[in-house]
């Protein structure tokens, strides 16, 4: 298993930002999604985020919502999510699960942490769980040896940032704009300031998510962040593809472009 610390450490040693790529498990199909993730890793994605499809994805924009709906309609289960984690981890990338809290709680907090670890997962991102309510989850993650990752936003106060950074391991996920996920024409203007505020509170790597879709945007974010998170743009490439092979080729091409941006900061 490649850990988050190893993935970010390698990127730092090479003088670049790490590239994090997201897809919901089971999209466009179970094996199709696994093939797409493998292609993304081969093209330059350092850290894979495997989304656990959920029926009430409050933070997700229309592109990811559509993919999640397709995954759920196809019958994707938590076991399928874990199988996707195992496949992605086998590719050599550090692999994390992105999940809303309700599915984790329903599965069983300690059981979920143990299952992610057994599949080769390095951590779990819980976008709707705040550290104040995460004592049980943090204990389970510690026991399983995986990293709990929490989010900060432009509206986060210094005290909130310190609390989130103190509870996180692996990295801190910084949402560059307020609102749901989705491709944007420009990176949020407060993104660099948010990263600086997190760094004032923690030595953990900081990855910026929400909106990056082009090489130029990746380079812009890589100039001030340790990681560049891309989700909706990868999902859109698969949604727009005329067939599975074309979809895999499309996400691989995008991953290559974004990885190039991460290497050429600013």
| Catalytic center residues | 49, 60
Residues 143 and 225: their CA atoms lie apart, in Å, by 29
Residues 36 and 38: their CA atoms lie apart, in Å, by 5
The encoded tokens of residue 242 equal: 């005329």
Whether the bond between 121 and the residue before it is cis, its omega within 30 degrees of 0, is no
Burial class (CB in 10 A: 0-12, 13-18, 19+), 88: buried
The encoded tokens of residue 111 equal: 């059981």
Residues 6+ apart with CB under 8 A from 251: 21, 23, 36, 39, 40, 43, 234, 237, 238
Beta bridge mates, 89:
none
Residues 79 and 77: their CA atoms lie apart, in Å, by 5
- CA nearest 217: which of 17, 83, 38, 25? 17
Residues 6+ apart with CB under 8 A from 175: 151, 152, 153, 154, 209, 210
């Amino acid at each position: 298993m490649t850990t988050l610390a190893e993935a970010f450490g390698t990127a730092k040693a090479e003088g670049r930002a790490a590239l994090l790529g997201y897809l919901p498990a089971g999209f466009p199909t179970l094996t199709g999604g696994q093939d797409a993730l493998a292609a993304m890793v081969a093209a330059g994605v350092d850290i894979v985020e495997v989304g656990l499809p959920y029926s009430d994805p409050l933070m997700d924009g229309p592109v990811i919502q559509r993919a999640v709906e397709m995954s759920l309609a196809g019958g994707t289960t938590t076991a399928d999510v874990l199988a996707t984690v195992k496949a992605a981890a086998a590719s050599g990338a550090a692999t994390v699960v992105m999940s809303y809290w309700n599915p984790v709680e329903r599965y069983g907090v300690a059981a979920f942490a143990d299952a992610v670890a057994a599949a080769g997962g390095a951590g779990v991102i819980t976008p709707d769980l705040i550290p104040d309510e995460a004592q049980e989850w943090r204990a389970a993650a510690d026991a399983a040896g995986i990293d709990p990752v929490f989010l900060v936003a432009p509206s986060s106060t210094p005290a909130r940032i310190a609390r989130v950074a103190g509870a996180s391991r692996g990295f801190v996920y910084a949402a560059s704009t307020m609102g749901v996920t989705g491709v944007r024409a420009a990176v949020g203007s407060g993104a660099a300031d948010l990263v600086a505020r997190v760094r004032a509170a923690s030595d953990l790597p900081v990855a910026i998510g929400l909106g990056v879709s082009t090489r130029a945007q990746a380079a812009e974010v890589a100039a001030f962040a340790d990681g560049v998170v891309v989700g909706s743009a990868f999902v859109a490439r698969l949604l727009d593809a005329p067939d599975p092979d074309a979809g895999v080729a499309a996400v691989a091409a995008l991953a290559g472009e974004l990885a190039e941006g991460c290497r050429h900061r600013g």
